[in-house]
Amino acid sequence: MAELVADVFVSMDGFAAGVDVGPFFGYAGPGLDAWIREATEQPQLMLMGRVTYEALAAISSTDEASTRMNDLPKAVFSNTLREPLAWKNTRLVRGDLAERITALKQESDVPLRSIGSLTLVRSLMELGLVDRFRVMVFPLTLGGDGREPAYAGYPRTGLELTGTRVLDSRVVLLEYRPASFK
């Protein structure tokens, strides 16, 4: 059965976006670029919700990471989008999320990986379908400028730390697996 990895990028105070912060909260760097390249070079089926799909599909960049993302197979979960979808290699998935993800995990020869898509990730966590939860923490607090609280509405879930990595001497990647409460 394929593993499902959820990737979430957040500020220190837990926001996934903020006013006037730009991509990667303004902390792009060679280490983060290398991690993104490594992550997109791995075989995977990228999962996303409608909002993330619409944001990423609108990017018309030809940089290496964007080109690789264009080539990867993608599944967008939405009951409001209609086919045909504009982004290359993207299929629309409708219906019961638990049934569809369980089927994808059973059918897929490659890991499933969500990017962004806070609502989708929250639902996957509620359903107990996330096998690995990776949090990229950027070194800033957004306070009143924070938008999209990353963990709002999440279920109570115990996590076991399975790895850490520091990128560009400032961005911290934390990798967890769901675990029982201690």
Rounded (10°) angle between helices 97-107 and 118-126:
90
Return d(Cα 13, Cα 131) in angstroms, integer.
24
3-state DSSP assignment of residue 179: strand
What local confidence, expressed as pLDDT, does residue 61 receive?
73
Residue given tokens 């902390």 in the structure block: 27
Quote the DSSP letter at residue 180. -
What local confidence, expressed as pLDDT, does residue 178 receive?
92
Helices of type H across 9-117: 30-41, 50-57, 64-71, 97-107
Between β-strands 15-18 and 146-149, what pairing exists: parallel, antiparallel or unpaired? antiparallel
What local confidence, expressed as pLDDT, does residue 148 receive?
94
Q: For the segment 30-65, what is each residue's pLDDT rounded down to a tens digit?
A: 999 999 999 999 999 999 999 999 988 887 677 777
DSSP-assigned beta bridge partners for residue 47: 75, 114
Specify burial of residue 6 (Cβ count, 10 A radius: 0-12, 13-18, 19+): buried
Q: What is the CATH number of domain 4-179?
A: 3.40.430.10
Q: Are 119 and 50 in contact (CB under 8 A)?
A: no
- Can you give the residue ranges of every domain in the chain? 4-179
What local confidence, expressed as pLDDT, does residue 181 receive?
56
Q: For the segment 65-118, what is each residue's pLDDT rounded down to a tens digit?
A: 778 888 999 999 999 999 999 899 999 999 999 999 999 999 999 999 999 899
